[in-house]
Amino acid sequence: MQQVLSYIQKHQNDFLNNLNECLRIPSISVSPSHVSDVARCADFLAQRLKEMGMKRVEIFPTKRHPIVYAEWLEAPGHPTVLVYGHYDVQPVDPLNEWVKPPFEPDIRGGRLYARGSVDDKGQVYIHLSALEAYFRTWGRLPLNVKVLIEGEEEIGSPSLKNFLKEQKNLLKADEVIISDTPMLDREVPSICYGLRGLCYMEIHVSGSSQDLHSGMWGGTVENPVHVLAGILSKLKDKNGRILIPGFYKDVYPLSKTERRMLARLPASEKKLLKVTGSLKFTGEKGFSTLERMWARPTLDVNGIFGGFSGEGSKTIIPAKVGAKVSMRLVPDQDPDKIASAFKKHVEKISPLTVNVKVIKHHGSRAFLERLNHPIFEVAKRALEKAFGKKAHFIREGGSIPFVRTISDILKKPCVLLGFGLPDENAHAPNERLDLVNFFKGIEGMAYFYGDLAKWKV
**Where in the sequence numbering do the catalytic residues fall?**
88, 153
Among 120, 150, 431, 443, binds ligand BES (CB under 6 A): 120
Contact 227, 353 (CB under 8 A): yes
Answer yes or no whether residue 181 interacts with ligand BES by CB under 6 A.
Answer: yes
Report in angstroms how near the CB of residue 403 gets to ligand BES at its nearest: 9
- We find the least distance from the C-beta atom of residue 185 to ligand BES, in angstroms, to be 14
Q: Which of 408, 429, 181, 178 is nearest to 294 (CA)?
A: 181
Helical segments of 322-400, H only: 335-349, 375-387
Minimum distance from residue 350 beta carbon to ligand BES (Å): 27
Residue of closest CB approach to ligand BES: 398
Query: Is residue 333 involved in binding ligand BES (CB under 6 A)?
Result: no
The CA distance from 230 to 243, in Å, is 13
In which element (H, E) is residue 148 found? strand 144-150
Spell out, one character per residue from 68 to 107, where the chain touches Zn ion: x when CB under 5 A holds, - when not: ----------------------------------------
Using the contact rule CB under 6 A, the part of the chain among 125-133, 163-171, 180-188, 340-348 near ligand BES is: 180-188
Q: Omega before 94 cis (within 30°)?
A: yes
Among 29, 179, 190, 364, binds ligand BES (CB under 6 A): 364
| Interactions with ligand BES, residue window 185-214 (CB under 6 A) | 198
What residues contact 7, with CB distance under 8 A and at least 6 apart?
133, 136, 137
- Burial status of residue 417 (CB atoms within 10 A of its CB: 0-12, 13-18, 19 or more): buried
Residue 119 or 211 with smaller CB distance to ligand BES: 119
| Binding partner at 19 among Zn ion, ligand BES, none, C-beta below 5 to 8 Å by kind | none
The CA distance from 342 to 69, in Å, is 37
Task: Indicate which of ligand BES, Zn ion, none lies near residue 399 (CB less than 5 to 8 Å, by partner kind).
Answer: ligand BES
Instruction: Annotate each residue in 395-424 with x if it binds ligand BES (CB under 6 A) or - if it does not, as one string.
Output: -xxxxxx-----------------------
Handedness of CA 261, 264, 269, 275 (dihedral sign): negative
Q: Hey, what's the torsion of the CAs at 298, 333, 411, 118, to 10 degrees?
A: -20
From the list Zn ion, ligand BES, none, pick the one residue 401 interacts with, judged by a Cβ distance below 5 to 8 Å according to partner type. ligand BES
How many residues contact Zn ion, by CB under 5 A? 1
Decide: helix, strand or coil at residue 72.
Answer: strand
CB of 121 to Zn ion, least distance (A): 11
User: Which of 122, 182, 306, 450 touches ligand BES by CB under 6 A?
Assistant: 182
> CB under 5 A: which stretch of 40-48, 52-60, 118-126, 224-232 binds Zn ion?
118-126
| Residue count of the chain | 457
119 binds Zn ion (CB under 5 A): yes
Binding partner of residue 450 among ligand BES, Zn ion, none, CB cut-off 5 to 8 Å per kind: none
| In contact, 11 and 92? CB cutoff 8 Å | no
| Nearer to Zn ion (CB atom), residue 88 or residue 174 | 88
Decide: is 431 part of the binding site for ligand BES (CB under 6 A): no
In whole angstroms, give the CA distance from residue 213 to residue 273.
44
What minimum distance in Å lies between the beta carbon of 362 and ligand BES? 6
Q: Measured from the CB atom, is 178 or 410 closer to Zn ion?
A: 178
Binding map of ligand BES across residues 148-167, x = CB under 6 A, - = no contact: -----xx-x-----------
Residue type, 326: S
Proportion of the chain in helix, strand, coil states, percent, rounded to 5: 35, 25, 40
Least spacing, CB of residue 242 vs ligand BES, in Å: 18
Q: How far is the CB of 318 from ligand BES (least distance, A)?
A: 29
Q: Name the H helices within 234-314.
A: 256-263, 269-276, 289-294
152, 180, 211, 291: which one binds ligand BES (CB under 6 A): 180
Please give the helix or strand (H or E) that residue 450 lies within, else none. Answer: helix 435-452
Nearest to 179 by CA among 112, 131, 128, 120: 120
What is the β-pairing status of strands 175-178 and 414-418?
parallel
The minimum distance between CB 119 and ligand BES, in angstroms, equals: 5
Question: Among residues 315, 106, 329, which one has the least CA distance to residue 218?
Answer: 315
| List of residues contacting ligand BES (CB under 6 A) | 119-120, 153-154, 156, 180-182, 198, 362, 364, 396-401
| List of residues contacting Zn ion (CB under 5 A) | 119
